[in-house]
Every structure is written in C-alpha cells, then in structure tokens.
Structure 1
Amino acid sequence: MNESKKRVLLGSPIHQKPHILQEFLNSLLRLRRVNIELDFYLIDDNEDEASSRLLEEFAARRNEVFLQSSGLHDAYIRNDTTHFWNSSLVWKVAGFKNLMIRRAEAFDYDYLFLIDSDLILHPDTLLHLIGTDRDIISEVFWTQWQPGTLLQPQVWMHDEYNQWEAEPGEQLSQEEINRRFHQFLAKLQQPGIYEVGGLGACTLISRKAITAGASYDRVRNISYWGEDRHFCIRASALGIPLYVDTHYPALHLYRDSDLDKVADFIRLCRVEPEVITQEDAENECAEEAVEQVEAGTAEVTEDGENEGHERTAADGAGAKAAAPSAAQDGAKPWTEAEALQRLRKEPLPEAGADSIKAAHAAAEFAVSFERRAALRRPKLTLTMVVKNEGQRFLRQVLQTHRQYIDEAVIIDDGSTDGTADICREVLQGIPLHLVRNSISKFSNESELRKQQWEEVVKTDPEWILSLDADEIFEERFAGDIDSLLREDSCDLFCFRLYDFWDDRHYREDKYWRSHLSYRPFLLRYRKDFSYAWNDLPQHCGRLPENVFELPHLLSNLRLKHLGWSKAELRLDKYLRYMLLDPDGLYGWKEQYMSILDQHPNLVPWTE
C-alpha cells in the first residue's frame, strides 16, 4: 500500500529582481516531491513588471499555483552592499505570511513551507525537512551581511541576533562571548539538526504548530526588529521548540554578484540517476522539464505538461521502492566550508566517513577563526544620543557609519517619531543596544551623558566613537579608521569639527571657529582608568572631562556638523538655547545671538 501523501503549501511573498526571481522559481521546480502533494501560494508585491510577468507565466502553466497581487507598490532599496528595511515593509511582509498561515489552516495542509524569494534550494530540502518530524524547522543558509565580513547563518540563539549560547542571567566577558560565537558557527558547519532560539526565511511549519497559534503578528510588549523574531518568541511561548537543519544549506542570492554561484550550486546538487518507480516518475519528469526550460529546449503544451519525456517503472529495471533521499542512500551532505571550496572550484579533500569529514570541517573553521582573531582590528562602538531625528540627518549619518562600526549604543532621549525604527532599520545586522528614555533628560545634559557612558561600558567596548546624530566624517575616514584603531601608542584621537551652514559651505567668523581647534571624539576604553565627568547641566562634554590625561593624538580627518545647515534647524536651536541657557551661563551668549545672522561668512567645502 502506498504511503499517504503529505500536503504542503509553499508560500513566498515576492518583491524581487527578475534575474534572481527566475533562479528562485527554477529552484522550486527542482524540489523532489516523493509522496508530497505540493501547492504554491505566491504574493506578487513587485514594482518591476518583468518580475510580475515571470510569476504570471509560472502560475499559468500550473494548476497548483495560487498567485495573488498585493496591490501595493512600496519601494525596497537594496544594493550590492546591503538591503534597507523599514517598519512598514517588515509588518507588510508579516501580514503576507499570516495570510499564508491562514490558507494552510483553512485548506488543512500538513505543512506550510515559507521561503524567501532570493534562496536557491537543494532538491532534497523539502523531503528532508518533512522527514525530521519537527514542528518548526529551517534549513540553514549563510550570508555575508556586509562585503568582506564573516559568513553568518540566518539563525540565532537568543535576543535579536545573538549567535552564542548563554544561560538566563549569565554574565559573559567579551572574550567568552567571542569563544562561544565561534563555537556556535563551527557547530552549524557540521551536518545535523540543532535547537535554536530564532530562525526564518526557509522554514517548514507543521499543522500542529499552526493550530497551536503560530503567527507573525507583532508581540506588543517587545521592541525587537523583524517579523521573524516575533514569530519565534511566540512559538517559544507556546512551547514549540525551534530547530535548524544543516544537511542541505541553501544558496542565498543576497547580492546580484551571488548569481555567479548558481551554476556551480546546481551542478553540486544534481542527484545521480536512481531507479525510479511509477509513483516517482511524475516528479522526475518535472525535474527534467526545469533543466530543459533552463536550456531553452522544452516544449510545453497548453495544459503545461512537458511533451516527450514519459518514464515508467520499466525504465527503472523493475524496481519496487521509491528512490531514497540523498541522506538515506549514502550521498554525503556537504557543509558550508565544503560548499565554499566547491564554489571556488578548489580541490576537495578525499572522501571519508561523515564524522571524520565533519570534524575536519569544524577544525578548519576554528583555525580560520583563530587567524581572523589574530588579524582582526579592535572593535569600534558608535554611541549617540538622539531625539526626534526622523526628518533630519539620522538615516544619512547611520548609513555612512555602518560601513566601519562593529556595534552601536544609542540613547533615544524621548523621541515621539520614528527615530528608533530608523536606528533598527539602518543598523540591521549590526549589534545595536537601543535605550529609550520615556522622559527627555536633555535639560540636564551631564545626567544624560553619564547614562550614555554607562550603557556603552556595559558592552565591554574597545574603541568608542561618540558622535551626535548630525555629525558625519569626510569620505576618507572609512578607509583610514583601521589604522587609527590599531595605533598602540594612543588612547584618544581628536578631530576638527566644521559647522555646515548649507550643503556645501561651513561657517567661519569670530563666533564660529570650532574647526580651528581639535576635540575628542574617538576614545580607547581603559578599564583601569578612573573617568571623571563635568557636572554642568549644559555643554558638559560628550566624554569624561579627564580623558586628556590619556595619551592622545590629533588627526587631520575632518568631521562635518550638519545640524546648522538648514535655516529651520538654526531657528530651532536658537530657541532651545534661549530656553535652557538664556544668559549664556554654560555657553557663549554672543554666539547664541549670532545664530540668526542674515549674512554670515561661509567657506566652500572641498573633500
């Protein structure tokens, strides 16, 4: 008696470039479906008409495809460096995924398989995930979130993206965090199934999990970024464990340049011919059809069936059993380290037992991390105080800073706009410690700066870059910062700050001469140094007042201050100073009065 088929709904919200979407759709058709009844629910959220046409053609040839237009045309910005999300995009996608959950529940599917449209899957992925008998499980994939950085998996252990194991309340040194982080990544290099705290993007969800309440609805009493985190927290609260499988890593086309890897990935995933039963013949024909479509040789009839490729049990020499999956028939699943070797066309190590190969891969991975640690530059932590910066320079500033920072500590001092969302969106993929004050402390700046300092110290910083939300370095800073951080003889760097009065000019007169002196912005944190603060309620300084006791140097890199560059911003600052320091007790009253000068002396800026 034939085993009853599992009914699976494959869902994907799609806002994708045509050339990446084509590879994704071809990947779906290569999925092996032994004892699987597979339907598709695709939501077309594309701006590019070519992508919408690809989906329409895909749906027109198959009765099992339910294609729905989102009716929206939101911009989604991405480039060959990174992708940029905002809250409205995140929760729009969450709504799409919830629609897919509801359809899977209403039509009584055994599983819902949610996949992002920039993934290329191994043909055995779906069969294997179902065979794990887990209620929520993702297949792993690895991504360089920024060019030149470490490959990281899309799964994590706790909080927003912490990829190390820790017990509740456990206090870890930075050294121990690094060790556990490397240990976690090394473990995921080995083929297996592992329990994790968070996952997404390539996830199989069982009917049992859906019935229990799995959902992408926002959990209102947490502020974590991204719908997958809310999904995972809810699942954990429902008592549903989360797992990642690492036998068949997917290929993530995060950048257009990743398309160069697709051909090798497909070649490496190609399964050697096996004996085929009548029950499996339909699926095998589908796989051949994809190959012909890719080669431009397939002929398709009006009902979508591929002509001229019938196979029967006789072709399999009378075999009576379905072809086993690669994991069952002895094919060796490859780790990410091996995959990278293959994609670079480097020689592979001689085949051996799975356990030996996994151990070698893990050992090589650990050695590579040790080399990275020896060569790595010190960690750079950006810290800021922000308030209602949504319509000002925050997005521009953070997009520049994220090129070279490793971590960020930001105090949101009573914002009532989308400032916090911009911080999470632009710094996605970078550890962010966002502290929100419900009531602003700016009327007593020393209290606010001490809070900022204490939050930074909690992160075990190495170098601290203290900037305001309207300050940005000149372009060459990104290329020179590494040499500053590696300077052993210096603990403090000072820079000149230029007050911009419009996009291309800075102000220079007897009241505006900040660029003629050097101020401290970049500090190496010394645990054995006793830091002291100025207690002035205004203009107390953003760093402790005694930092000049440390070895310090002057840098010729320049810092642009954009906060005066628009008339409306100058008026706002003038009114604030008149309110907080009308007599110039903590600042310079004549400078306050000069803010509204109609004809200031402006000097052109040149990079």
Structure 2
Amino acid sequence: MAGAYCAGNYLGVLFVMKVVIGSPVKQKEAILEQFLQSLDNLDYQGLAVDYIFVDDNETPSSLLHDFAAKHANALIVKGDIQSEYRCTEETHCWQENLIWKVAAYKDRMIEYALKADAEYLFLADSDLYLQPETVRHLIELKKDVVSEVFWTKWTPELAPLPQVWVGDQYRLFSAKRGVQYSEAEQEERSQEFINMLKTPGVYKVGGLGACTMISRRALEKGVNFKEIYNLGLIGEDRHFCVRAAALGLELYADTRYPPFHIYRESELVTLATYKNRIRKSVKPPKLTVGMLVRNESGRYLEKVLDHITRYADEVVILDDGSTDNTVAICRQQLINIPHCIVENSISRFNNEVELRKALWDMAASTRPDWIMILDADEIFETKAVKEIRELITDDSMDVVYFRLYDMWNERSYREDGYWMAHRVYRPFLVRYQQDYSYEWQEQALHCGRFPANIHNLPGKKSNLRVQHFGWARPEDRVAKYLRYKELDPIAKYGIHEQYLSILDPKPNLIEWRDDE
C-alpha cells in the first residue's frame, strides 16, 4: 500500500504527526499569559509537539519558563540583541533592525524544525489568542503555506483589516500589471477581498504572516525570512512570501478559526468576550465522507466530488489500485477541503469486505460526528446540500436511510422485477460512536458499505434521493456483468437472474424528475 500520508489511525497503522510551534517573544506579561494559555488549550490529538521560543525580553520571562517547566518538549532560546521596540495603544513601531532580528529568530526556528524531522512548523506571534482547533485544522488542509486569518485595527480609527493581502506591500485587491485603478475602483475591489475573507473557507493569497503553518516540503525547498537584497518591500513576512512564490509554492489563507489579536493591552477586556463566545459556541457536527474508487477517470468522479465538497467537512478516499489518473482528479477536486487519499498498489476488490472495513477505519480516524459512504458514481439530488447539514443536527437518531435510483442513462432510471432499489430505504449516513462495537457482514462481495449491526441503532428515513450512475452507460453495464461473472460465477452473493438481466436490451425505464 502506498500514499497513506495522513494523521490519525488508518488501516490499523498509527501515524503521529511531528509539529514544531515557534514564536519570537518580546511581550507584555498580561498579553503573553493569554497567548501561552491558548497554546495549552490547543487540540494536539495525533500530534507530537515541540515548542521553541526566542525570549527577547530585557529580563528572562518567568511566564515562558513556567510554561517550559510544564512541557519537557519546550526550548527557550535567549535573544541575541537587545533593541527598543515601542508598542503603544496607538500602534506598533517597527524599525528596520528589529525586522531583520525577528527574521533571524524565525529562520532559527526553521533550522530547528528541519533537524527535529518535523512535518510542519507553526509560527505564531505572541500577541494572539488561538482557538483550540487551529493547529490540527491547518495541518488537515495539507497546504505548504497557510495562515489563519485574524483582524486588527492597525490604528484605533481604522476598520479591522486582515493580516493577509493580495500583493505588493499591502494591496488588498487583484490588479493587472500596468493598469491604473481609480481610488473608487481600488476601494471596491479591496472590499470584495475583505468580504470574501469573512466567509469561512480557504483562499489563495499573495501575502500572509503571524499565524502560519509551513510544511516540511516548503522548508526543504528553502523558504526562509532572509532579506532579498533587491526587494524594497518592508517586513520579513513579505520577503518570505516572495521567496515562497519564487520557489513554486502557493500561499493560502484560512478563515474558519480566526484568533484574537491582542494588539493593545486595552483589548484584553474585549478578549474576555471573545473567549466566552468561542467557549459557548456550539461546534457544528463534523461530517466525513468516505469513498472507494478505482479507474474513475472519464466517468462521474469530478461531478460527485464537486457536490460532496459543498456539504462535507472532510473526505477520505481509498483508491483500489487505479491505473489511470483517478488519484490526481481526487487531489485536484479536494484541494480546498481537508482530505486523505490512501492508494492500494494492486486491486483488492476480490475481498470487498476488507476494503469497506479499511475505508470505514479511515473515516473513523478523522474523529467525525457522522460518516457518509458513497461510491464514485453516486450523487445526491441538488437540494441535499442544505438538507444533509440539517439532518446531522438531529440528536434523535443515529442512522439515516435514503432511496437509491439506478440510472440507466443520464435522465432515466430502471424499474422492473430485479431493479427496484429505489423502493427500499438504505443507509448512507451513520452517526459515529467510538464505543459502539461495529460488526461487519463477513463476505467477499455485496457485504454492504456499513457495518451490518448499524440497523440496531435508531434510524430515520429521508426523502432525499440518490442517483446511481454506475449502470448509465452500456460499456459500464457490460464491465459490471463480466466482473460479477468472474467474482461470483455461481451467484453465491447475488441473484443469477439479476446478473443476466444487466444486459437486457429493452429494460423498463422511467424518466427522472428533479422536482419530485
């Protein structure tokens, strides 16, 4: 098996992700205390974490040393040069020598992460209060460089602005080279960018910093904060971003778990409200969608994945020995959602139950509230995007049953004696319960996509319909007929007459109606 690069427990193998968290520290005690508290509150499940701090305070920080006393994996490095850093209620004053001193500290953290064989380096400024999900979430995005967006009034009279930008020093709008934009156009375009960042999601940007996850791949390619001598931009983060782009790396901003920026000591009062809000907020249930794929290129995979990403929180893919570009399609379609793809070097479909178990274990290891299992040629009707999210908020049931329509072409489904799947409600969505003893139907074919004993759990029928396009093309029907003939020649797991009916030249078809 190849390509199993995921945090968590997949296929019975425990993967522990090594992460280094680094921060240069020259900070007021009241603000630093909140930053360190948020580090303690981070969700570290499945992660092995080292901390590295550069203590640039005039006298050693007792808070840092108290933190290190509680964490054997915390390293405190004394700052090299003492320089005045003025931080007032109005703004922060950065001088050129301070910028490159901090750049050197961050490069020291890069060296540490590389020597520690870390998969990721997370650099966070010491005046942030991080949400507990931050580190795990940024890792799950599987980006080489991604920052969690926060908002700051750079001066008291300004509206809050993000610490990510589109280009140049701090341009917040897309611009074509050589084109002059009026002040009104610049303001309108900048507002579009700001409005976009206020919607939870992942967005490609031109500049970022202060709360950044960097992959080992990026570190090994040579990203760093050193000054680019012929670049006039001010700030070590800008030189980092230009270098990253020149190395062929893309920069992303995530807006799902914005930290609180304690830019002024007076904002500690507002921080209390923020902490109370995230503590009281009801975290929406997490839905992980699992899919078994093999040689899906040129079929329905792009359409299916595009629809899934509209309602899923995470996707896991088990590729059963594809010989085409199925895996590449999955990677491209899932680029903006947490996902894991595991590849079998050879197909193992001759024992389907083992594949289904492996896919279930992959989904379970993402710590979901709900698991949905779909095949690569199954798609819910359009209105499902909203209704599925509503279904998983229902605490009264653990299994949701749906009707599956066997499409015999793009617009019609089959209905006759052996083809009436749509008259039966079958499970596609199951609440995951860690302590429940799941049991499978141990057979090599037609074993079911879920453990067999989920039917003992309270369930609910949904009116949402699933279209199954696996029979929609003549060549697919012939291929499936031949596969069943090979894998189940005496119809031990299926019905012989139904196998024969696959090739019926005149099946009874009913037109699909979108507005049922």
Match of residue 384, structure 1, among 291, 307, 319: 291
Distance 1:128 1:460, change over 3 A: farther
Query: Of the candidates 503, 517, 536, which is equivalent to residue 424 of structure 2?
Result: 517
Cα distance, 1:358 vs structure 2 = 5.7
| Letter of the structure 1 residue corresponding to residue 499 of structure 2 | Y
Which residue matches 1:488? 395
Q: Does the aligned pair in 2 maintain the 1:236–1:242 contact within 8 Å?
A: no
Q: Which runs of 5+ in 2 are unaligned?
A: 1-92, 108-117, 125-130, 140-146, 155-163, 170-203, 207-211, 227-234, 242-257
Structural mapping, 1:139-158, within 5 Å = none
Call closer, same or farther: CA 1:201–1:409 in 2, change over 3 Å: farther
RCO higher in structure (CA 8 A, sep ≥6): 2
Return 5+ residue gaps in structure 1 as ranges: 1-123, 139-157, 166-175, 193-198, 205-225, 251-334, 339-352
Match of 1:580 in 2: 487
TM-aligned CA distance change 1:528 to 1:406, over 3 Å: same
* TM-score of the two chains, using structure 1 as the length reference: 0.47
2:311 matches 1:356: no
SS at match of 1:388: coil
1:398 maps to 2:305: yes
Return the offset for 1:201: 8.0
CA deviations on 1:125-146 (whole Å, 9 max, x unpaired) are: 9x899756738999xxxxxxxx
Cα deviation, residue 461, structure 1: 1.5
Distance 2:168 2:486 in 1: 55
Task: From the superposition, tell whether residues 233 and 536 of structure 1 become closer, same or farther in structure 2 (CA, over 3 Å).
Answer: same
- Letter of the 1:546 counterpart: N
Q: What is the rounded CA distance, in whole Å, between the counterparts of 1:475 and 1:464 in structure 2?
A: 20
Question: Residue 579 of structure 1: SS of its match in structure 2?
Answer: helix
Tell me the TM-score normalized by structure 2.
0.55
SS at match of 1:412: strand
Partner SS state of residue 103, structure 2: coil
Find out whether 1:414 has 2:414 as its counterpart.
no
Alignment partner of 2:445: what SS?
coil
Determine whether 1:237 maps to 2:220.
yes
Asked whether the equivalents of residues 499 and 514 of structure 1 are also in contact (C-alpha less than 8 Å), the reply is yes
> Structure 1 residues 396 and 239 mapped into 2: Cα distance closer, same or farther (>3 Å)?
closer
Shift of 1:368: 4.6
Cα RMSD (Å) of the superposition? 4.5
Give 1:236 shift: 2.4
Structure 1 distance, partners of 2:455, 2:123, is: 37
Q: 1:500–1:506: 8 Å Cα contact kept in structure 2?
A: yes
Is the alpha carbon distance of 1:242 and 1:517 closer, same or farther for their aligned partners in structure 2, counting shifts above 3 Å?
farther
| Counterpart contact for 1:504–1:604, Cα < 8 Å | yes
Amino acid corresponding to residue 237 of structure 1 in structure 2: E
Partner SS for 2:375? coil
2 CA distance for matches of 1:491 and 1:548?
10
- Closer/same/farther in 2, CA of residues 242 and 515 from structure 1, 3 Å limit: farther
- Cα displacement (A) at 1:417: 1.4
AA aligned opposite 1:571: V
Q: Which structure: larger Rg?
A: 1
The answer to whether structure 1 residue 528 and structure 2 residue 435 are counterparts is yes
Q: Deviations over 1:488-518 (max 9, x none)?
A: 1100011110000111100000010101111
Letter paired with 1:507: R
C-alpha displacement of 1:237: 3.4
Report SS of the residue matched to 1:383: strand
Amino acid at match of 2:303: Q
1:409 is paired with a residue of what secondary structure? strand
Q: Is the 8 A contact 2:225 2:236 kept in 1?
A: no
Secondary structure, aligned partner of 1:464: strand
Q: Please report how far the alpha carbon of residue 377 of structure 1 lies from its aligned counterpart in structure 2 after TM superposition.
A: 2.5
**Percent pairwise identity:** 40
| Matching residue within 381, 384, 387 for 1:474 | 381
Mapped contact 1:164–1:180 kept (Cα < 8 A): no
- Whether 1:591 aligns to 2:490 is no
The letter for the 2-side match of 1:491 is D
Q: Match for 2:315: what amino acid?
A: A
Aligned twin of 1:38 = none
The 1:511/1:200 distance shift into structure 2, 3 A limit, reads: farther
The AA in structure 2 aligned to 1:500 is M
**CA distance, structure 1, for counterparts of residue 168 and residue 439 of structure 2:** 51
Match for residue 178 of structure 1?
Answer: 133
Task: After TM superposition, give the deviation of residue 458 of structure 1 in Å.
Answer: 1.4
Q: Secondary structure at the match of 1:446?
A: helix
Spell out structure 1 runs of 4+ moving beyond 2 A. Answer: 127-138, 162-165, 176-192, 199-204, 231-248, 335-338, 357-371
For residue 178 of structure 1, what is the amino acid of its counterpart?
A: E
Structure 1 Cα separation of the partners of residues 293 and 332 of structure 2: 15
* Aligned mates of 1:439, 1:505 — CA distance in 2: 35
Alignment correspondent of 1:546: 453
8 A contact 1:571–1:596 mirrored in 2 = yes
Of 451, 458, 465, the match for 2:358: 451
- What CA deviation, in whole Å up to 9, does each residue of 1:177-197 have, x standing for no partner? 6275699988965799xxxxx
Matches within 5 A, 1:422-461: 422-461=329-368
Query: Cα gap change, 1:239/1:245 in structure 2, threshold over 3 Å: closer, same or farther?
Result: closer
Question: Does 2:316 match 1:369?
Answer: no
Query: What is the DSSP-based 3-state SS (H/G/I as helix, E as strand, rest coil) of the residue aligned with 2:368?
Result: coil
Using a 3 Å threshold, how does the CA distance of structure 1 residues 520 and 593 change in structure 2: closer, same or farther? same
**CA contact under 8 A between 2:372 and 2:430: conserved in structure 1?**
yes
- Residue 558 of structure 1 is matched in structure 2 by 465
Q: Which has the higher helix share?
A: 1
Q: Is the 8 A contact 1:191 1:358 kept in 2?
A: no
The alignment partner of 2:343 has SS state of strand
1:322 aligns with: none
> What is the rounded CA distance, in whole Å, between the counterparts of 1:183 and 1:402 in structure 2?
17
Q: Aligned equivalents of 2:122 and 2:272: distance in 1?
A: 19
